[in-house]
Amino acid sequence: MNPEAPTLAVSTVIFALRATDSSETSPATLWLPLVRRIREPFEGKWALPGGPIGASESLGDAAARNLLETTSLRSRYLEQLYAFGTLDRSPSQRVVSIVYWALVRPDEAERATEGENVRWFAADDPPQLAFDHNTIVEYALWRLRNKMEYSRIAHAFLGERFTLTQLREVYEAVLRKPLDPANFRRQIESTNSVVATDERLAGGRHRPPRLYRYNESFDLADNGPLPMT
Amino acid sequence: MNPEAPTLAVSTVIFALRATDSSETSPATLWLPLVRRIREPFEGKWALPGGPIGASESLGDAAARNLLETTSLRSRYLEQLYAFGTLDRSPSQRVVSIVYWALVRPDEAERATEGENVRWFAADDPPQLAFDHNTIVEYALWRLRNKMEYSRIAHAFLGERFTLTQLREVYEAVLRKPLDPANFRRQIESTNSVVATDERLAGGRHRPPRLYRYNESFDLADNGPLPMT
DNA sequence: TCAGTTCAAGTCAATTGCACCTTTACTGCC
DNA sequence: GGCAGTAAAGGTGCAATTGACTTGAACTGA
């Protein structure tokens, strides 16, 4: 082995939608879980979950495993973001990080056991992070918002059944702008990416909205001919 | 050092436009230079140029250096493509390749000294390559064609001064479909990505077309808040 | 039963995209 | 020198899409 070879690691930026406060009426916003570093460098600072790559796992598998081990989260969507490898990202040691980004559903996000060393932060306003992780979060946010506009990735934030209003609220939360409900409905229906079910969501104090499910024959991510492993 | 740590390398997919045959009238198509492997595994097979990452260079610098050393090419545009790291990509040894893609201008492409170990191939129909390099080329082609449609990346294929017809021919060659000259002109002019010069290209047996130059204040790639190193 | 709320569908003007047409300006040849 | 050929450059009109707005339907809770 070359003693000058950089250390290789994977990290993951995880996004989930959470209510801004405990009230039901407040709109959801983007949050991400961070882990506290328990050793130098940057001991005590918050950082993206990550770790080394196992000898018998692919890069994506390594990201998913690290995710599960450090935050107890299983992601519905996992995509490679970028490989970061400038010289100055870590003091004393050369580290090349292959970073993934993940989307988890709200019910799954609850499983992330918050504690002293794992906590959720607003994605748009994270604290000062270890290494170059602030830059990485910023880039991941850009990619997410970009991809929302040309793919059906929003579905990864939702469960099996959802109303068109819920789907619209995902777009509004990520893109941070209100969308016209009628036009949104027309656009989504024209793509055939969702399928209407017979069920309706009862219980609200208004006309019960129809529940939809995702059209499985649709490509969620539009990532081209990539072997997503 | 962890003896199980994967070997880290960079490779680059280089694209250039070249005339299909020696005649001037034939339309240009996409070509890429490949290098012949001179050792096992896959000795004798064609492969993407690449190599190890130096101790004091960033990933992008490593890609550019390898490019220059193996093919004598300096690229006008270099962007990270993807990090490939499945277990089966190389026999006996675990290799993680961080792959870049590059665009070079026709005049620069001439510098690639073709010989026994470096040769140009049609990008859409490469031979059977070493490792998973056929997959990588296919993905790079997808990214290039995708990016042509929402960025001004085509300019990286051209020199300082160019006519709108030349620019249109770049799009036609990459996207493999004819474009309406009038509509193309209007679209390009509406973006303000090019600036008209006073010069015209004389010598043709027709009305001399105006020469344009690229608007430097325009973002060529639209890669978001990435530190492109 | 009624007020309040949201779902769901429809209308219309403005904008954009695309196919096609006309005019302009040069070169090469007779 | 005039004419034919060619591509540049600009223009026109239709179709599809988008965005702002309106209307009616369906349900809950008081």
pLDDT tens per residue across span B124-133: 999 999 999 9
The verdict on B92 and B192 lying in the same domain is no
- Determine contact: A55 vs chain B, CB below 8 A: yes
pLDDT given for residue A124 in this prediction: 95
Q: Which residue has the higher pLDDT, A26 or A91?
A: A91
Q: Which residue has the higher pLDDT, A114 or A44?
A: A44
Q: Are strands A7-19 and A28-36 parallel, antiparallel or unpaired?
A: antiparallel
B185 Cβ contacts chain D strand, under 7 Å: yes
The verdict on A40 and A141 lying in the same domain is yes
A203 Cβ contacts chain D strand, under 7 Å: yes
Question: Final residue of a domain: which of A112, A147, A182?
Answer: A147
Question: What is the rounded average pLDDT for all residues in chain B?
Answer: 89
Q: Domains in chain A: how many in total?
A: 2
The verdict on A121 and A81 lying in the same domain is yes
Nearest-neighbour CA in chain B from A28: distance (Å): 25
Q: Are strands A95-103 and A7-19 parallel, antiparallel or unpaired?
A: parallel
Do residue B1 and residue A5 have CB atoms under 8 angstroms apart? yes
> At A198, is the secondary structure helix, strand, or coil?
strand
Query: What is the distance between the alpha carbons of residues A165 and A204, in angstroms, rounded to a whole number?
Result: 13
ipTM for the whole complex: 0.91
Residues 6 or more apart from B18 whose CB is under 8 A from it? B28, B29, B31, B106, B109, B120
Measured CA B182 to C1' D11 distance, in angstroms: 10
- Determine contact: A134 vs chain B, CB below 8 A: no
Strands (E), chain A: 7-19, 28-36, 46-47, 50-52, 77-84, 95-103, 118-122, 161-162, 194-200, 210-214
Q: Is the pLDDT of residue A86 over 50?
A: yes
Would you place residue A1 in the very low, low, confident or very high pLDDT band (cuts 50, 70, 90)? Answer: very low
pLDDT given for residue B42 in this prediction: 94
B39 Cβ contacts chain D strand, under 7 Å: no
pLDDT given for residue A174 in this prediction: 96
End-to-end CA distance of chain B: 26
B41 Cβ contacts chain D strand, under 7 Å: no
Question: Final residue of a domain: which of B147, B175, B207?
Answer: B147
Residue A41 lies in a domain: yes
The verdict on B142 and B32 lying in the same domain is yes
Measured CA B14 to C1' D9 distance, in angstroms: 35
Would you place residue A179 in the very low, low, confident or very high pLDDT band (cuts 50, 70, 90)? Answer: very high
Residue B139 lies in a domain: yes
Count Cα neighbours of A68 within 13 Å in the Cβ-side half-sphere. 10
Question: Final residue of a domain: which of A114, A147, A180?
Answer: A147
Give the pLDDT mean for A112-139.
92
The structure's pTM equals: 0.93
The verdict on A16 and A82 lying in the same domain is yes
Measured CA A205 to C1' C1 distance, in angstroms: 16
Residue of A nearest to B147 (CA): A224
Would you place residue B228 in the very low, low, confident or very high pLDDT band (cuts 50, 70, 90)? Answer: low
pLDDT given for residue B1 in this prediction: 47
Residue A153 lies in a domain: no
pLDDT given for residue B158 in this prediction: 92
The verdict on A137 and A33 lying in the same domain is yes
The verdict on A118 and A204 lying in the same domain is no
Residues of the domain holding A33: 7-147
Residue B154 lies in a domain: no
Determine the nucleotide nearest to A203 by Cα–C1' distance.
Answer: D28
Nearest-neighbour CA in chain B from A166: distance (Å): 28
Q: With pLDDT > 90 as the criterion, what percentage of chain A qualifies?
A: 70
Determine the nucleotide nearest to B183 by Cα–C1' distance.
Answer: C18
Q: Which A residues 20-39 touch B at CB under 8 Å?
A: none
The verdict on B137 and B84 lying in the same domain is yes
Q: Is the pLDDT of residue B229 over 50?
A: yes
- Determine contact: A139 vs chain B, CB below 8 A: yes
**Interface probe with B: pick from A148, A226, A228, A229, most Cβ of B within 10 Å:** A226
* CATH code of the domain containing A142: 3.90.79.10
The verdict on B17 and B108 lying in the same domain is yes
Give the pLDDT mean for B5-9.
91
* CATH code of the domain containing A187: 1.10.10.10
A185 Cβ contacts chain C strand, under 7 Å: yes
B150 Cβ contacts chain C strand, under 7 Å: no
Measured CA A166 to C1' D30 distance, in angstroms: 27
Question: What is the rounded average pLDDT for all residues in chain A?
Answer: 90
The verdict on A74 and A174 lying in the same domain is no
pLDDT given for residue B106 in this prediction: 86
Q: Which residue of B55, B82, B135 is in closest CB contact with A94?
A: B55
B177 Cβ contacts chain D strand, under 7 Å: no
Residue B34 lies in a domain: yes
Task: Select the highest-mean-pLDDT range: B98-102, B110-114, B224-228.
Answer: B98-102
Q: Is the alpha carbon torsion for B72, B73, B78, B82 positive or negative?
A: negative
Query: What is the distance between the alpha carbons of residues B167 and A150, in angstroms, rounded to a whole number?
Result: 26
Residue A1 lies in a domain: no
Would you place residue B197 in the very low, low, confident or very high pLDDT band (cuts 50, 70, 90)? Answer: confident
Q: Which residue has the higher pLDDT, A80 or B196?
A: A80
Residue A131 lies in a domain: yes
The verdict on A168 and A143 lying in the same domain is no
Q: Protein contacts on strand D: list nucleotides below 7 Å from a Cβ.
A: 5-12, 18-22, 25-29
Q: Is the pLDDT of residue A206 over 70?
A: yes
pLDDT given for residue B22 in this prediction: 55
Would you place residue B198 in the very low, low, confident or very high pLDDT band (cuts 50, 70, 90)? Answer: confident
- Determine contact: A70 vs chain B, CB below 8 A: no
The verdict on A88 and A174 lying in the same domain is no
Are the beta carbons of B57 and B68 closer than 8 angstroms?
A: no
Do residue B135 and residue A53 have CB atoms under 8 angstroms apart? no
Residue A83 lies in a domain: yes
Are the beta carbons of B36 and B44 closer than 8 angstroms?
A: yes
pLDDT given for residue A227 in this prediction: 59
